[in-house]
Amino acid sequence: MTQKSQQLAATAWARLIRAQRTALEKVEQDLKEEDFPPLVWYDVLLELERAPEGMLRHRALNDEMLLPKHNLTRLIDRMEKQGLVCRKSCNIDKRGSFVCILEKGKKLRNKMWPVYEKAIERHFAGKFSSNELNMLADLLARL
Amino acid sequence: MTQKSQQLAATAWARLIRAQRTALEKVEQDLKEEDFPPLVWYDVLLELERAPEGMLRHRALNDEMLLPKHNLTRLIDRMEKQGLVCRKSCNIDKRGSFVCILEKGKKLRNKMWPVYEKAIERHFAGKFSSNELNMLADLLARL
DNA sequence: AAGTAATAGATGTAATTGCAACTAGTTTTT
DNA sequence: AAAAACTAGTTGCAATTACATCTATTACTT
């Protein structure tokens, strides 16, 4: 590890942290301005919608989202309270439970998407050529 | 905006969010395992140490760190309580205040750095060639 | 110079997150 | 088959963060 490569590593690292934080903040801001809930909510809804029958084990959802489990419990609590998702008990494993997306949840996700998409374009993708986006995606995939 | 480029944008975006979150979490974990405070503390200390005379206006520090201001107030409260930094009133602008790094703060930063450096290498930089790191840094600089 | 607007930073309070412990159920070991 | 170890998900409580508001001071306007 030379002095120089060490320097390079630190710079790239700082950029990564900073770039993501900045872009994410702006995107979240755009969503908030339209009175939409935060991005994690969108992520949950998306994962559920993609899953067969619109439902996933709490655990499986947890693995997709990068959240500590207790944290997800409460996120689902809130979303359930809003009527976006619901829990179903699991017959196979009585400890566990499923989380299912409801109509209202699907509708919300659909309304959020165009805003989200535009925000991604504006604050992130728009700043790169498609070549660069590909490169970036490939590089980041290693982490 | 074609369907395909839209898809690409979404993928790259997801990777950015995910990659940063994953890597950051691991690095924070490494620090925590050595009983060090979270990364923001390090950042504050570093900014202060770099600043002339080891002090910065609250505002200036705030601009460097990407934090809401009320949030920084409390972060400094905590760090002050640990004797790492202190506040000094500002003569030029009596509303404002300076934040200064103390000996203990410098020492802490010095002890943290090797651990932090190793963690960056392990969870981030080590996964790329130096060419790639350069590319990544350049690309991310646009955000 | 008086009045209004803007800025620096702090504070009260609510929402969210993190951590440890807990309950209930399942799997493994002996 | 009983005991021990493990897993799924929840809950209590403390720490942190967000949001709105407040105070003191400075800058702008007329």
Domain boundaries, chain B: 22-124
Q: For B39, which residue in chain A has the nearest alpha carbon?
A: A17
> Which residue approaches D19 most closely, CA to C1'?
B70
What is the pLDDT averaged over residues B61-75?
Answer: 94
Measured CA to CA, the distance from residue A113 to residue B11 in angstroms comes to: 14
CATH topology of domain B22-124: Arc Repressor Mutant, subunit A (1.10.10)
Cα dihedral B108, B114, B119, B121 sign:
positive
The predicted-structure confidence for B90-134, as pLDDT tens digits, reads as follows: 999 999 999 999 999 999 999 999 999 999 999 999 999 999 999
From the candidates B1, B5, B6, B16, which should be mutated to test the interface with A, based on the most A CB atoms within 10 A?
B16
Which SS3 state, helix, strand or coil, does residue B8 take?
helix
How far apart, in Å, are the Cα atoms of B87 and each of A81, A143, B59, B83?
44, 39, 13, 11
The answer on pLDDT for A1 being more than 80 is no
Mean pLDDT across B68-74: 94
Each residue of B44-73: b (16+ CB within 10 Å) or e? bbbbbeebeebbbbbbebbebbebeeeebe
What is the Cα–Cα distance from A112 to A36, expressed in whole angstroms? 7
- The CATH class of A37-122 is mainly alpha
Q: How far is CA B59 from the centre of its chain?
A: 16
Secondary structure class of B56 (helix, strand, coil): strand
Of B9, B25, B117, the CB nearest to A121: B9
